[in-house]
Amino acid sequence: MPVDLQTLYPKLIHLMLDTVFVVDRDNQIVFVSDACETLLGYRAVELIGTPITDYIHPDDLSVTRASIIRVMNGHSHVDFRNRYIRKDGGVVHILWAAFWSDEVEARIGVARDVTALRQAEEELRFMAHHDPLTALTNRSLFNDRLESALRAAHRHNNMLALLFLDINDFKGINDVHGHAMGDQVLCMVARRLQACVRETDTVARMGGDEFTVLLTDIQSQEAVAEKVAQILATMAEPLGAEFGAINMPSCSIGVAFYPADGEDADTLLSHADGEMYRIKRQRSSAAG
């Protein structure tokens, strides 16, 4: 016997894992499939007759209204993303495919929950620009920020300072106490460095036991000297009991100033690195 498609279609719509919305010219929801309860936490009866814009994340209202106008003007939108507020107050990221139907004078949209995908994308972006051990900015992002800071300093005739920091005798920690403990020390160094600077400054792990700090919009070289003294004092504070008998290692810090010590990233990094090794050699000579 022939299949009664007219009877089957509504059942198929409610079986879909994605949510189907039908919204009239005045943005009132006139139909929503059963999957919406999983998507937004509302049952269909709670949504029908209410404006769909009531559930859009406030920060996405403007761009969503522009998309609505586009769809109502006859341009399908099959790759639009925005955020909605769930009944429980949570935020869900949605990927839409929508078109305007002249036959029913309504927008028909299919909504897919892409929250997990969005989180995975953000994690990948973070991993691409941050050190996996300390979560600090990595070399690549640091170089980008340094280039941007140099352009801004040149444009506004400001100074900036670049600090290059190396942990003294770090190899001994790895050799005696193991790399896992060495990693914990590196994470502690990262946290202490971040605590010493402003949110507008950048702390990066360049690799191994080498770190850099970018100080922007500085007032004087004396202010940077005070910052270096603060970092050295913070680094000298004892480690917690979880580190056992390990003492917090000291560090050597080289400084380069823009524009006094160079006007490009490579020159400044080379100068700060050279200063750091000069201080390191002085320390070794004094110890010997």
173 and 137 assigned to the same domain: yes
- Cβ distance 256 to 161 under 8 Å? yes
pLDDT > 80? residue 9? no
Structural domain contains residue 124: no
84 and 227 assigned to the same domain: no
Q: Give CA–CA dist 110/20, Å, rounded.
A: 5
User: Would you give the distance in Å from CA 23 to the centre of its chain?
Assistant: 35
Two tokens, residue 272: 């700060």
Q: Name the percent of the chain lying above pLDDT 90.
A: 77
148 and 87 assigned to the same domain: no
Q: Give CA–CA dist 114/107, Å, rounded.
A: 21
111 and 233 assigned to the same domain: no
| Alpha-carbon Rg for the chain in angstroms | 29
Residue 265: give its domain's CATH number: 3.30.70.270
pLDDT digits (tens, 9 = 90+) for 59-108: 999 999 999 999 999 898 889 999 999 999 999 999 999 999 999 899 99
- Other CB atoms within 10 Å distance of the CB of residue 30: 15
The boundaries of the domain holding residue 159 are 130-287
Last residue of a domain, one of 83, 100, 119: 119
* Backbone φ/ψ region at 208: left (φ over 0), alpha (ψ -120 to 50), beta: left
pLDDT at 6: 64
57 and 153 assigned to the same domain: no
62 and 104 assigned to the same domain: yes
Rounded to the nearest integer, the mean pLDDT of the chain is: 91
Residue 113: give its domain's CATH number: 3.30.450.20
52 and 157 assigned to the same domain: no
Two tokens, residue 251: 């560090």
pTM of the model: 0.76
Q: Give CA–CA dist 159/155, Å, rounded.
A: 11
pLDDT at 93: 98
Q: Name the percent of the chain lying above pLDDT 70.
A: 95
The total number of structural domains in the chain stands at 2
Q: Give CA–CA dist 137/117, Å, rounded.
A: 23
232 and 258 assigned to the same domain: yes
Q: ω before 259 within 30° of 0 (cis)?
A: yes
Q: How confident is residue 183, by pLDDT bands cut at 50, 70 and 90?
A: very high
pLDDT digits (tens, 9 = 90+) for 205-253: 999 999 999 999 888 999 999 999 999 999 988 888 788 778 888 899 9
74 and 185 assigned to the same domain: no
- Other CB atoms within 10 Å distance of the CB of residue 210: 16
Q: Give CA–CA dist 158/266, Å, rounded.
A: 19
Active-site residue list: 209
